[in-house]
Amino acid sequence: MFSDKDIAHFSNLETPFYYYDLNLLERTLKACEEASSVYKFHVHYAMKANFNPIVLKQIEKIGFGADCVSGGEVKKAIEVGFSKDKVVFAGVGKSDKEINDALDNDIFCFNVESVQELQVINELAEAKQKVAKVAIRINPNVDAHTHANITTGLDENKFGVNSWDMPACAAILNISPNLEFVGIHFHIGSQITNMDVYKNLCIRVNEFAAWFEDHGFKVTILNVGGGLGIDYHNPNGQIPDFKSYFKIFSDFLEVKPYQEVHFELGRALVGQSASLISKVLYVKNGKKKNFIILDAGMTELMRPALYQAYHKIENISPKSEVNSPESAIVKYDVVGPICESTDCFGKEVELPETFRNDLIAIRSTGAYGEVMASHYNLRENVQIVSSEEIK
Ligand SMILES: *Cc1c(COP(=O)(O)O)cnc(C)c1O
Residue 391 has pLDDT above 90, yes or no: no
> How many A from CA of 362 to the centre of ligand 1?
23
Residue 322 has pLDDT above 60, yes or no: no
**pLDDT bucket at 288, cuts 50 / 70 / 90:** confident
Q: For the chain, what is the HEC assignment?
A: CCCHHHHHHHHCCCCCEEEECHHHHHHHHHHHHHHHHCCCCEEEEEHHHCCCHHHHHHHHHHCCEEEECCHHHHHHHHHHCCCHHHEEECCCCCCHHHHHHHHHCCCCEEEECCHHHHHHHHHHHHHCCCCEEEEEEEECCCCCCCCHHHECCCCCCCCCEEHHHHHHHHHHHHCCCCEEEEEEECCCECCECCCHHHHHHHHHHHHHHHHHHHCCCCCCEEECCCCECCCCCCCCCCCCCHHHHHHHHHHHCCCCCCCEEEEEECHHHHHHHEEEEEEEEEEEECCCCEEEEECCCCCCCCHHHHHCCCCCEEECCCCHHHHCCCCCEEEEEEECCCCCCCCEEEEEEEEECCCCCCEEEECCCCCCCHHHCCCHHHCCCCEEEEHHHCC
**Best residue among 112, 190, 270 to mutate for probing ligand 1, ranked by most atoms within 8 Å of CB:** 190
Least confident stretch, 14-28, 138-152, 211-225: 138-152
- What is the per-residue pLDDT for 168? 96
Q: Give pLDDT tens digits for 230-282.
A: 999 999 989 999 999 999 999 999 999 999 999 999 999 999 999 999 999 99
Query: Comparing 55 with 391, which gets the higher pLDDT?
Result: 55
Residue 72 has pLDDT above 90, yes or no: yes
| pTM for the predicted model, two decimal places | 0.95
Amino acid at site 282: Y
- What is the per-residue pLDDT for 156? 81
Query: Which atom of ligand 1 lies closest to the CA of 227?
Result: 7
Query: Which atom of ligand 1 lies closest to the CA of 150?
Result: 7
Phi, psi of 170, rounded to the nearest 5 degrees: -60, -40
List the domains of the chain with CATH numbers.
4-17+273-389 (2.40.37.10), 22-271 (3.20.20.10)
- What is the per-residue pLDDT for 166? 96
Task: Output the average pLDDT for the chain.
Answer: 95
Quick check: 104 and 82 in contact, CB under 8 A? no
Quick check: 186 and 225 in contact, CB under 8 A? yes
Give the HSE-up count for residue 293: Cα atoms under 13 Å, Cβ half-sphere: 11
Q: Has 265 been labeled as part of a binding site?
A: yes
Residue 4 has pLDDT above 80, yes or no: yes
> How many A from CA of 133 to the centre of ligand 1?
20
Give the HSE-up count for residue 300: Cα atoms under 13 Å, Cβ half-sphere: 28
Looking at 109, 202, 339, 344, which residue is catalytic? Answer: 339
d(CA 354, CA 176): 65
**Best residue among 28, 67, 149, 150 to mutate for probing ligand 1, ranked by most atoms within 8 Å of CB:** 67
Residue 320 has pLDDT above 70, yes or no: no
Known catalytic membership, residue 68: no
Could you give the percent of the chain with pLDDT greater than 70?
98
Residue 221 has pLDDT above 80, yes or no: yes
Quick check: 153 and 188 in contact, CB under 8 A? yes
Residue 319 has pLDDT above 90, yes or no: no
Query: Which atom of ligand 1 lies closest to the CA of 228?
Result: 9
Q: Has 137 been labeled as part of a binding site?
A: no
Q: Give pLDDT tens digits for 171-213.
A: 999 999 999 999 999 999 999 999 999 999 999 999 999 999 9
Q: Has 340 been labeled as part of a binding site?
A: yes
